Structure 1
């Protein structure tokens, strides 16, 4: 059964702990990187009790939860990996016969319980719940899809939110920039380290995200167009992977972004490039789904039986004060 860990601060000290209900058992290993935690667990240098002693437990309300994904690390993402999200983003799933990859800066990593800062120049701020995968083994050669075992490479799972500034990502055609501002990658709170018999449960994971109590995204992991095994094999052909690097596996439908209808797209195709994007941004501004200061985002990923439970993100949107346009 998967073991659930959190990275936390308690009395000015950072540590890792095992989760037991609403309480934490500190491992007293200090502020290890995600990589060193995974290596320590693999080599059994970090001991985890089979039964957590109650006298050493810390209540969660006495600690500050930190991101279980530490820097530096490589953040690789999949785009339009759920069919319905492809449609709302203006892509035809039948003609998109490729796995779309991009990256985020690890500068964007932040805690799962805290603030998302909307930069002053950003107007179209969007949310994207995603299942995050942490690699537990280096990949230095191309893997054969049919013969390799993904259990050797997938060490852990966590909740990711791929916060996106759509007016930067799309109008400027800069995915990396539009998805990499500070606080644009809330991670955690739980790092679920998998056991061999846990992998069959990945497909049954349920992803849910609400904004101000309204359900916006809901899907199962088995709805991915390109599942982890296929994705990792393809990724190995053009990327070197280190232990602790992460893969975000795409978001379901329900984002604030919604592509214009076909007639509007045809009309826009006759406009100059700058005018086309002016029309697009103007149309998107009418959508009330985009995040505003004060909005509260909650997200959770778990199996129906709770054997894998990645916890809950609770985030509040705040307005940034720095204007990058001047």
Structure 2
């Protein structure tokens, strides 16, 4: 069974701990980076307490949860990796015969239990629940899809929310900018370090996100167009991966973003570029699904039997 770790602050000190019976077992290793934690676990320099330990625990309600993903790290993302989301984004899944990659700044990393800040100039703020993968081994060569074992490279999982400013990302064609403002990458709360038998559970993970109690996104990880094994093999052809780097595997349907209908798209194609995007933004502003200050976002990723559970994100949208 996966070992669930949290990075937390307690009495002005930052540490890592294991979750056991809803309590925190501190590791007393200080504020290590995610990379150093993983390397320490792999080389057994960091000892994990057992469930029957007599070690003193800390109650969850006495700590402040921090992001289990630390900077610096490379944040690689997949776009339109669920068929229904491709459709709502205006892409034809039959025509999209490629794996769409982009990056996100590690400046955006923030805690899973806290605030998402909407910048003053942003009006179309969107949510995207995603299964996050953390690499536990460097990739410096091409991996053969048929012979390599993803268990050698995927070391842990976590919940990610790829917060996006659609009015920056799309009209300006600025994916990196539109997805990288501070607090646009809530991560955690749990870093689930996998055991060999946990990999069979990955396809069974259920992704669910609500806004103000209303279900917006719900899907299983097995609905990905390009699953992790295929994605990592392709990624190895053009990227150097370090321990602690992360891959966000795409979001299901249900985002606030909704592409205009075909007739509107045809009409817009005759307009000058700036007019086309003015029409797009005007249409999107009519959608009530976009995040507003005061909205509460909750997100979970877990198997139905709870054997693999990445915790719960609880986020409050605030105006910058």
Contact 1:8 1:64 (C-alpha < 8 Å) held by counterparts: yes
Contact 1:112 1:314 survives alignment (8 Å) = yes
User: For the aligned residues, what is the CA RMSD?
Assistant: 0.7
Q: Distance in 1 between matches of 2:307 and 2:15?
A: 24
Q: CA deviation at 1:211?
A: 0.1
User: 1:281-302 deviations in whole A, cap 9, x for unaligned?
Assistant: 0000000000000000000000
Give 1:21 shift: 3.3
8 Å CA contact retained: 2:25, 2:49? no
Contact 1:25–1:52 (8 Å) recurs in 2: no
CA deviations on 1:82-127 (whole Å, 9 max, x unpaired) are: 0000000000000000000000000000000000000000000000
What is the correspondence of 1:1-326 to structure 2 with a 5 Å cutoff? 1-53=1-53, 56-320=56-320
Distance 1:202 1:54 in 2: 32
- Secondary structure of the corresponding residue to residue 233 of structure 1: helix
SS in 2 for 1:265: helix
| Alpha-carbon distance in structure 1 between the residues aligned to 2:68 and 2:233 | 25
In the TM superposition, residue 69 of structure 1 has moved relative to its aligned partner by: 0.2
Decide whether the 8 Å contact of 1:127 with 1:163 is kept in 2. Answer: yes
Unpaired runs of 5+ residues, structure 1, are 321-326
Q: CA separation in 1, counterparts of 2:88 and 2:68?
A: 31
Cα distance between partner residues in 1 of 2:246 and 2:290: 26
Does the 8 Å CA contact 1:111/1:187 hold for their aligned counterparts?
yes
Aligned partners of 1:206 and 1:304 also within 8 Å: yes
* TM, length-normalised to structure 2: 0.99
SS at match of 1:264: helix
Aligned length: 320
What runs of 5+ residues in structure 2 fail to find an aligned partner?
none
SS in 2 for 1:260: coil
1:323 alignment counterpart = none
Q: Which runs of 4+ in 1 moved over 4 A?
A: none
Q: Tell me, what secondary structure is at the counterpart of 1:202?
A: helix
Contact 2:73 2:106 in 1 (8 A): yes
